[in-house]
A and B are shown apart, each in its own frame.
Chain A
Amino acid sequence: MKRATQVTALAAVAALALAACGAAPEDDETTGGGEDTAGGNSDFSACMVSDAGGFDDQSFNQAGFEGLEQAESELGITAVEVESSADTDYAPNIDNLVQQGCNLVIGVGFLLEDPIQAAAEANPDTNFALIDSSFSDADFNPVEIDNAKPILFNTAEAAFLAGYLAAGMSETGTVATFGGIQIPSVAIFMDGFVDGVAKYNEDNGTEVKVLGWDKEAQTGSFTGDFENQANGQNLAQGFIDQGADIIMPVAGPVGLGAAAAAQGAGAKIIWVDSDGFLTTEYGDIILTSVMKQIGPAVFDTVSESVEGNFTNEPYVGTLENEGVGLAPFHDFEDAVPAELQDMLAQYQEQIIAGDLVVESTNTP
C-alpha cells in the first residue's frame, strides 16, 4: 500500500517535471497577446453579470456568455464576465463592473432588474442591458431608461410551431411540457406549446391532450429549480406513464433528466433555448428545439454599442427577426410528413406577417 503510494507519487512528479520541460516562447510572442489581433476595440469593455445559476448552466446564462465571448473574439473588445453565487451578489457585482470602467454592463435574468435599474439611474454615462426582463417604475408601470436596453424574446411564437409539430407527430395522442420555475420567461414557452396543440386539434378535428400546463389557469408542472435532473426524470416518467410520447422540458439542464426518461421509454423530446441536437447527447430522440437566440442578441447589442449606436429601445426576439425559431429536425427530417412541414411553414409565415398572433399573458 505504502509502496503503491510512493510509486504513484513518483510518477506524478515525473509527469509534472516532463510537462514543465517545454521550450520558452520568444519574448515578442509573450508580450503581444491575442487581444489586438481581431480589431482595435480593446479599450471598449463589455461586462456581464450572471444570475445565481452561473455561466455553466447549459442554459440562458451560458448562451449570453457565448454571445459575449463571440464579441470578444470577433470585435476585439475586452470582455469581463462575473458570476454571481447568490441573489445578494448582483448589486455589488454590477457596482464593481461600473467602477472599473465597463462601457456596457449586461445583466442576465429578471432577478437583476432592480440592481440594473438602480445602477443605470446612478451611472448615466454607462450603458446597460438586461436579458429577459424590462423595467418598471415604483407603481409597477413599464418605464424606459435612457441608458438601459431590455433584451426580450417572444418565444411563444416558436413554441406554437413546436406544439403544432408535437400534436402532429404524437402517436398516443398525448404530449406534455413542464418547467423549471414558474416565471414568465419559462411559462411563455408552455403557453405557445399549448396553443400550437390546440391549433392542430382545430385544424384536424383531433383531440391531442397536453399534460403539465393549463394555459387558462396558468398552472402546471414545475420541478422547482434549474439544477436537479432527477426531478426532471421523475416528472417526465410520470408523463410517459400517463401516455405522453413527446415532452418539452423548459428547465435548462433539468431537461436532461427528462431526456434520460424519454430515451428509456421510446418517447421524444423537444429541447429549448439551444439546438439540443448539437448541444446534448440525446440528439437521436430530439424531435426539434425551440431556439431562443440569446447569444446573437448579446452579440448584436455589443456590436451596436461599439459602433456608438446603443439605443434603449427594447430588443424583442421574434420569428421575423430570427431571435426565436424552430431548429432543424435533423434525424427526424424524413419522419415528419411533408404536409405537416408545409403547415408549419405556412403558420410561420402567418405569424411573421402578423395574420396569426400567438397570445400569451407572459409575452414581454
Chain B
Amino acid sequence: MTQQAMPDDAGTPVVPPTAAPPSHTEQATEPPAGQTILRQMLESSWLVSLLAIVAALVLGGVLIAAADPEVQQAATYLFARPSDFFEAVWSAVFGAYSALFQGAVVNFSAPDLQRALRPLTETMTVSTPLILAGLGLGIGFRAGLFNIGAQGQIILGGIFAGFIGFTFSLPPGLHLLLAVLGAALGGAIWASIAGVLKARTGAHEVIVTIMLNNIAVYLVAYLLTTTAFQRPGSSNPISPPIPGSATFPLVLGQGFRLHLGFLLALLAAVGVWWLMERSTLGFRFRAVGENPHAARTAGISVAWVTVWVMAIAGALAGLGGAAQVLGTEKVLTAGVAASFGFDAITVALLGRSRPLGTVLAGLLFGALRAGGFAMQARTGTPIDIVLVVQSLIVLFIAAPPLVRAIFRLPTPGGPTRAERHAARRRARATSSTTPTTQEAGA
C-alpha cells in the first residue's frame, strides 16, 4: 500500500536518515513547529555532539575546582602565591577526572586483572537500561513523537518483570523468557495509553507521558505496600529477591555484575536498525516523522503509526526495566528505575536517535555514572557534578548555535569560511576597482 503511494513522493524524497549533511532546503515544507526543533537537534552534526561533550566536561571541571576546599583556600591568597592556586585547581580537576576514568574504564591501581577490568563492565551494566530506553525514545523522535515517558515505561516493565520473577516458580530459561516478555508487554501497554490518546483525541504526548510517569511512580510505591509485593515477614517496601531461574545469567561470571541484558540491548539496537532502515513499518514511521501531512496524503495512517511507535518504544523501555530488575538489582524497589528514563532522553538526543549513536551515547552516560561513584569515593567530588555534566551536554546539544559560536564552527547551510572570504573579496573588488594584493595576508 505504501509502496504504491511512494512514487508520488518521489519529488520530495524522505531524507535518507543515513545521509550525513542533510539538505536544509526541506524545512520549507512545514511540519509542526515542535517537530522542526526536534529534527534540527537530530540533524546537527556529530562534531557538534562531540564538542558539546567537551564543553560540558570543561565547565564541569570549573565547577569541580570551584567546589574544592583546597582551591577555595588557595584562592584567598591568589596574588601572594598564584602557583598554589593553579596547583590546587590542577590536582582537583585532574584527580576527579582521572578517578572518573578509572572508575569507568580501567582501574590502574587495582590489585588484580579482574578488578582492573571491572570498571568497564560496570559501565556496560549501567548503560544497559539507558541504551534500551534510548532506542525506544529514538524511534519516537524519528517519528515525530516527543515521548518522555520512558521513566514510567521502565517502571512498568520492572513491575511486570519483578512480579513474574518472584511470584511464580518455573524452569530456568522459560521463567526468564516469560519475565522479559512480560516486561516488554508492561512497557508497551503503558506507552500505548499515550499513543492511543494522541491518535484518538489528539492529546499531546508530552503532557500525557509526563503524567503517566507520575502515575507509574506512585503505582510502584503503592504496590510495594501490598503483601503480594513485599517479603514475607517484612513490611519494608522492597520485593523478595528474584530467584535464579528468572535472572539474566552473568556474562563474565561472579565478580562482575555484567549480565546478559547488555547483549540483549545490543541485539535490540540491531533490531531497531533493521526496523527503521530496512522494514516497511520503519519507513512509515520515518515518513510520518518527516512530514505527517505528506505521509497522510501518501496513504499512511498517522494514528496507526502513532500507536505502533509508542508501543514499540514502550516495549524497549520495558526491557530496560527488566534489565534492572532481573539483571542488575535482582529486586524491585520504588527507586529501581533511578533516573534512567530521563537520562535516556539525553542519550537518544546525543545519539541523534540512530541505533549506533544511542549505544555509544548510552555507554558514555553509563561511564559517567559508573565513574561518578569512584570519583565520589576517592576524591570526595560530589556525584552531582556528573549530573551537571550530563545536563550541560543536553543544554549544548539543544543549542547547536551556542556550540558553533564557542568553537567558531560555520553554520551548516550557511556560507563556509572560504565562501565568506570570497564574498568579501568580491565585495571589495567591486568597491575599489583595483584588485589588491593584501588579501592573502589578511
Q: Do A and B come from one complex?
A: yes
Residues of A within 8 A of B (CB): 17, 19-25, 30, 47, 52, 80-83, 85-89, 91-93, 95-97, 99-100, 110-111, 113-114, 133, 136, 138, 140, 181-184, 187, 218, 224, 362
Interface residues of B in 215-238 (CB under 8 A from A): 218, 221, 225, 231-238
In contact, B237 and A181 (Cβ under 8 angstroms): yes
Residues of B within 8 A of A (CB): 75-81, 84, 103, 110, 115, 122, 126, 218, 221, 225, 231-238, 240-241, 257, 324, 328-329, 331, 333-336, 338-340, 370, 373-374, 376-378, 380, 382-384, 387
- In the complex the two chains form, what is the Cα distance from A187 to B234 in whole Å? 12
In contact, A88 and B338 (Cβ under 8 angstroms): yes
Give chain B residues whose Cβ lies under 8 Å from the Cβ of A23: 77, 80
- In the complex the two chains form, what is the Cα distance from A89 to B387 in whole Å? 13
Contact of B329 among A82, A88, A187 (CB under 8 A): A88
B394 to chain A, nearest CB (A): 17
A167 to chain B, nearest CB (A): 26
In contact, A100 and B232 (Cβ under 8 angstroms): no
Given contacts A87-B333, A362-B235, contact A92 B373 (CB under 8 A): yes
In contact, A86 and B236 (Cβ under 8 angstroms): no
In contact, A20 and B75 (Cβ under 8 angstroms): yes
In contact, A86 and B235 (Cβ under 8 angstroms): no
Given contacts A140-B231, A140-B233, contact A24 B377 (CB under 8 A): no
- In the complex the two chains form, what is the Cα distance from A92 to B378 in whole Å? 13
In contact, B236 and A183 (Cβ under 8 angstroms): yes
- In the complex the two chains form, what is the Cα distance from A80 to B380 in whole Å? 8
In contact, B377 and A86 (Cβ under 8 angstroms): no
A115 to chain B, nearest CB (A): 9
Q: Specify the main secondary structure of chain A where it touches its partner.
A: mixed
In contact, A224 and B218 (Cβ under 8 angstroms): yes
Can you sample 9 A-B contacts with CB below 8 Å?
A21-B78, A86-B335, A88-B324, A88-B336, A88-B338, A99-B110, A100-B378, A136-B233, A183-B236
In contact, B80 and A184 (Cβ under 8 angstroms): no
B370 to chain A, nearest CB (A): 7
Given contacts A24-B84, A96-B374, A100-B377, contact A88 B382 (CB under 8 A): no
A-B CB proximity, top 5 nearest: A87-B335, A86-B338, A20-B78, A96-B377, A24-B81
In contact, B76 and A86 (Cβ under 8 angstroms): no
Give chain A residues whose Cβ lies under 8 Å from the Cβ of B331: 114
Given contacts A83-B382, A87-B333, A114-B241, contact A133 B236 (CB under 8 A): yes
Identify the interface centre among A30, A47, A85: most chain B CB within 10 Å of its CB: A85
Give chain A residues whose Cβ lies under 8 Å from the Cβ of B79: 17, 20-21
- In the complex the two chains form, what is the Cα distance from A57 to B262 in whole Å? 35
- In the complex the two chains form, what is the Cα distance from A21 to B257 in whole Å? 51
B220 to chain A, nearest CB (A): 11
In contact, B80 and A22 (Cβ under 8 angstroms): yes
Given contacts A52-B335, A87-B334, A96-B377, contact A182 B78 (CB under 8 A): no
